[in-house]
Amino acid sequence: MMSIKVYNTLSRQKELFQPIEESKVKMYVCGPTVYNYIHIGNARPAIIFDMVRRYLEFRGYDVTYVSNFTDVDDKLIKAAKELGEDVPTIAERFIKAYFDDVAALGVRCADVHPRVTETMVEIIDFIKGLVDKGFAYEVNGDVYFSTRKFKGYGKLSQQSIDDLQSGARIEVEQQKVDPLDFVLWKAAKPGEISWASPWGEGRPGWHIECSAMVKKYLGDTIDIHAGGQDLSFPHHENEIAQSEAMTGKPMANYWLHNGYINIDNEKMSKSLGNFILVHDIIKKYEPEIIRFFMLMAHYRSPINFSDELLNSAKSSFDRLKTAVRNLQYRLEESANLGENENDWIGKINVEKEKFIKEMDDDFNSANAIATLFDLAKKANLYLREDHSSKKVLEYFLKTFEELSGVLGFDLSSAKELLDEEIDKLIEQRNEARKNKDFALADKIRDDLKNMNIILEDTPQGVRWKRE
């Protein structure tokens, strides 16, 4: 347990992971604002930190995982006006859609999914506490956090408050004492959804909800706070200011942030119209391929999203599935033979240890996936031996299941699809030869050979058999 290292955004370096309470981890991940279907930028942190949670559990930790829904804010109010519906109806619809989309991507539900509308008492009490401590002030029904009164402001983004001041926008609310002050409570406008508070009818600002939820469900200080890189400033910076001003304690010991997603080498942006909804993309690609693609890069690295790269990821994932299918097929006809069993089990364990070493190094799923391919190569070598042992085959399959499960994949369910996929590949090869694309035809033949499938040209057409 003591060998895991994580990159902490707060310190800008890898640190040995040491939870507050031995063998237990308290983890909070910022969730979506539910005014529309989520896009792949939202999907990346959902997949990444689901993987982190799974790995921590694999290493023996008891993880309490909390991820919120922002179910009331400016975007929801705008959507409600445009659609002629109320905010709760829209939020409920897209919360359900979120669960459907991320479940397809293999993301497990959090232990708690708090909503802003269900945490209003705690949010108001939190703001009252900040006002009482002199860290917040009220103007005309709005409440603001007094940023300069929190001495550590800027430590997560490593910016000085004077630099932030010089870069502040000119078009700030005139009633704020300082341009850097941010809103904790917004006075309601006519017709808006609102709640009663000591400052009048209104609703929370964006940042305060997470501070209140973390405190309610996980305590004053948690082990891991995570989210997309775009949240590090100002959202997470403001969370730190609020929470630490209130409690006098660190909000989180480790801050983890995943990298951005580009679309065809351009930054994903709604203004550019190049954002992709998960609701749409999972109709075009198998969801497990999207998850696999996301984990083929280190979580802190930016990734480029394109059809070409997704198709390449599918080909790679199919190689792993085929290795598992071939093991399953051989298992059905194998006897218990003791020859070389311990040697092969030792070779499997070497790959398992490599997998753990890579994941211990800041959850490096990219290198961990590489060890799965090394395991597949060993499986293919074993299947070429004259004799096979059920014990070894079962251990290969168990190891694939265990390690792929850590990453959230299911490699064991596709055995019945093997014949169908081989026939499809042969059709593609025939079409390539017809079009005189001999390079593609040869590649397909080589790919099939690597899967232990041999093609035979007969007068009746191409046939195949397992080697």
Tokens linked to 53: 């949670």
User: What is residue 335's predicted lDDT score, i.e. its pLDDT?
Assistant: 58
416 is in an annotated binding site: no
225 labelled as ligand-binding? Answer: no
Listed residue (88, 104, 119, 1) closest to 47, CA to CA: 104
d(CA 197, CA 125): 9
pLDDT at position 415: 44
109 is in an annotated binding site: no
Task: Give me the tens of pLDDT residue by residue for the chain, a chain 467 residues long.
Answer: 469 999 999 999 999 999 999 999 999 999 999 999 999 999 999 999 999 999 999 999 999 999 999 999 999 999 999 999 999 999 999 999 999 999 999 999 999 999 999 999 999 999 999 999 999 999 999 999 999 999 999 999 999 888 786 545 444 456 889 989 999 999 999 999 999 999 999 999 999 999 999 999 999 999 999 999 999 999 999 999 999 999 999 999 999 999 999 988 887 877 777 789 999 999 999 999 999 999 999 999 999 999 999 999 999 999 999 999 889 888 887 656 556 889 999 999 999 999 999 999 999 999 999 999 999 999 999 988 877 888 999 999 999 999 999 999 998 764 444 566 677 788 888 888 888 888 788 877 777 776 667 787 776 677 777 66
249 annotated to a ligand binding site: no
Between helix 418-434 and helix 307-331 the angle, nearest 10°, is: 130
No. of helices (H) and no. of strands (E), the chain = 15, 15
239 labelled binding-site residue: yes
- Cα separation, 316 vs 429, in Å, equals 18
d(CA 350, CA 365): 17
